Amino acid sequence: MIDTAFVLIVQDDADEGAALAETLTRSKYACHVVHGGDRAVESIRHRVPDVVVADYELDGDVSGTDVLEAAKRASPDTEVILLTPKGLKPPAGDNGGTAPESQAYDLLVKPIDASLLLDKVSRAAQQSTAARDARRLREQVAQAFEFCGIVGSSDTIRREIRRLQKIAKSKSTILIVGETGTGKELFAQAIHQNSHRSGKPFKVLNCAAVSSTLLESELFGHVKGAFTGAIMDRKGLIQAADGGTLFLDEIGDMPSDMQAKLLRTLDTGEVLSVGTNDVRYFDVRFVAATNHDLSELVQQGQFREDLFYRLHAHGALRIPSLRERREDIPVLVERFVEQANREQETEIEGISSEALRKLVQYAWPGNVRELRNVIFRMCIEAEGPRLEVADLPDTLRSSTDIVPAGLPDLAGMTMADVERRHIMNTLRMFGGNREKSAKALGIGARTLYRKLRDYGLK
């Protein structure tokens, strides 16, 4: 069984209902027993079951077929198994199969063999969840949108895109904050494409990938003879991006001396190449990005406070992690399968609901980039036309990550209690790894340690 299914048991006989529930509960099903059809209908209104196991004949005005029809109205994906006494043959209905019984998953004759019941419920649960997942996927794909290569359907990503569209047309410097792999460069490109600078150069500098000795030359350029190996003049990325946009990725890793020089350029527009005193001016829009908590780095003295406020003038554009937008995963999977088929010449037709559920439940520490890599690998190595659980990497196939069924009831809890619970759950998600938990929480490691100490969790 791929997930815990909810089974509603409808019996007039309390002992029979309890026996059925005990049999199914031992197989890890979540069961709820009600006595009478009217109570079954009321239960369905409150919580739609995956499977209903109901007597065909029930005392009172509500029959087993009435329960079946109520379940199908609440959710066409719910499967219903009707139990009939020995010797009772339900009416066959007309030639069109319109009798209510024709909608039942199966009709079983009492007394019910336990192994047969478990087999039928297991198959019904798999069919129910597969149909539900397929329907939800169709709905999510229908609601999905694409904006400059950014794909999704969740409210969180829509909200940030609306902000992006507004601030893109301004002239101000923009700060993008997000975990590694969330797509910060894609957002920066979208800002450029939706600005008045669209069509002009878009240049990228990863501040963490260039040594501190070369970073100044990469950014501002140098003249011949400025240092050993400088055999000719070389323009920097600011000059190369003149009229357009310069994306400074991982700006939190920029050395302090370079932060001061960048701040001067942001304030005055002045560019001073290495090895010369000749000041030049260029028209460049700066977009910076980081996976660090810059305010924490400011407190630690690792990032200039004046540069932080210069970058943060209009508030940061925050890209949610994939854990915060799990409803986008099916849409992203479909897109990456299409890309793999096009770029790798694979012929994958889709993904099974069981494999998709595993992907949705996974924590994705590497975010969208990790998901894309996984899907490409699966498409290349898949044995059949569809991606199955067997095609998943071992880490995902054996993952025990789960998605909560709903939000916990936080009413009456203090904000401190809510934060404490959130920190505990995040630590649990990452197996106690405090560095990863701090990144997921969007705070610095030192801040997390302090909160653990304050809440007595250390």
What confidence tens digit (pLDDT) does each residue in 370-392 have?
A: 999 999 999 999 989 999 999 99
Mean pLDDT computed over every residue of the chain: 85
Domain assignment present for 404: no
CA–CA gap between residue 254 and residue 215 (Å, rounded)? 9
Contact yes or no for 80/106 (Cβ under 8 A): no
Q: The CATH number of the domain where 327 resides is what? A: 1.10.8.60
Rounded Cα distance, 133 and 130, in Å: 5
Residues 177, 297 within the same domain: yes
Q: What pLDDT does 379 receive?
A: 96
- Quick one: pLDDT band at residue 167, thresholds 50, 70, 90? very high
Q: Are residues 300 and 179 in the same domain?
A: yes
Q: Are residues 208 and 80 in the same domain?
A: no
pLDDT digits (tens, 9 = 90+) for 216-233: 888 988 777 667 776 677
Regarding pTM above 0.75, the answer is no
Quote the pLDDT of residue 4.
72
- Asked whether the predicted pLDDT for residue 164 surpasses 90, the reply is yes
Q: Are residues 421 and 386 in the same domain?
A: no
Side chain identity at 106, as an amino acid letter?
Answer: D
* 96 pLDDT more than 50: no
In a domain, 163, yes or no: yes
Instruction: Check if the beta carbon of residue 319 is closer than 8 Å to that of residue 187.
Output: yes
Residues 364 and 267 both lie in one domain: no
Is residue 440 included in any domain, yes or no?
A: yes
At which of 274, 297, 318 does a domain end? 318
Domain count, the chain: 4
DSSP bridge partners of 174: 287
In a domain, residue 283? The reply is: yes
Would the pLDDT of 140 be above 70? no
**CA 400, 405, 409, 414: dihedral to nearest 10 degrees?**
30
Query: Are 82 and 198 members of one domain?
Result: no
Instruction: Tell which of 318, 341, 368 closes a domain.
Output: 318
409 domain-assigned: no
Pair 298, 332 in one domain: no
In a domain, 407, yes or no: no
Together in a domain, 152 and 292: yes
Distance of CA 60 to the CA centre of its chain: 47
Domain harbouring 419, CATH code: 1.10.10
Pair 188, 279 in one domain: yes
Q: 237-246, 310-319, 362-371, 384-393: which range is least confident on average?
A: 310-319
Determine phi and psi for 31, rounding to 5 degrees.
Answer: -120, 150
The domain in which residue 437 lies consists of 415-454
At residue 404, the 3 state secondary structure works out as: coil
Q: Which amino acid is at 432?
A: G
Residue in 298, 302, 294, 337 with CA at minimum distance from that of residue 318: 294
Of 303, 318, 333, which residue constitutes the final position of a domain? Answer: 318
The percentage of residues in the chain with a pLDDT greater than 90, rounded to a whole number, is 47
Question: Does the pLDDT value for residue 367 go beyond 80?
Answer: yes
Query: Domain of 216: which CATH number?
Result: 3.40.50.300
List C-alpha distances in Å: 91 to 57, 94, 225, 262: 13, 9, 97, 82
**CATH label of the domain that carries residue 42:** 3.40.50.2300
Q: How many CA atoms lie within 13 A of 51 on its CB side?
A: 28
DSSP string for residues in 18-41: HHHHHHHHHTT-EEEEESSHHHHH
- Which H helix or E strand runs over 131? helix 114-143
What is the structure's pLDDT at 143? Answer: 67
Mean pLDDT across the stretch 128-139?
A: 76
Q: How does strand 79-84 pair with strand 106-109?
A: parallel
Establish if 203 belongs to a structural domain. Answer: yes
If you write DSSP's letter for every residue of 307-372 in order, what string do you get? HHHHHTTT--EEPPPGGGGGGGHHHHHHHHHHHHHHHS-----EE-HHHHHHHHHS--TTHHHHHH
Rounded to 5, what percent of the chain is helix, strand, coil?
50, 15, 35
Q: What pLDDT sits at residue 223? A: 76
**Same domain? 259 vs 380:** no
Tell whether 361 and 212 lie within a shared domain. Answer: no
Helix axes 114-143, 14-26, angle to 10 degrees: 70
* Same domain membership, residue 15 and residue 88: yes
Give a yes or no: residue 141 inside a domain: no
For the chain, how far is it from start to end, CA to CA, in angstroms?
37
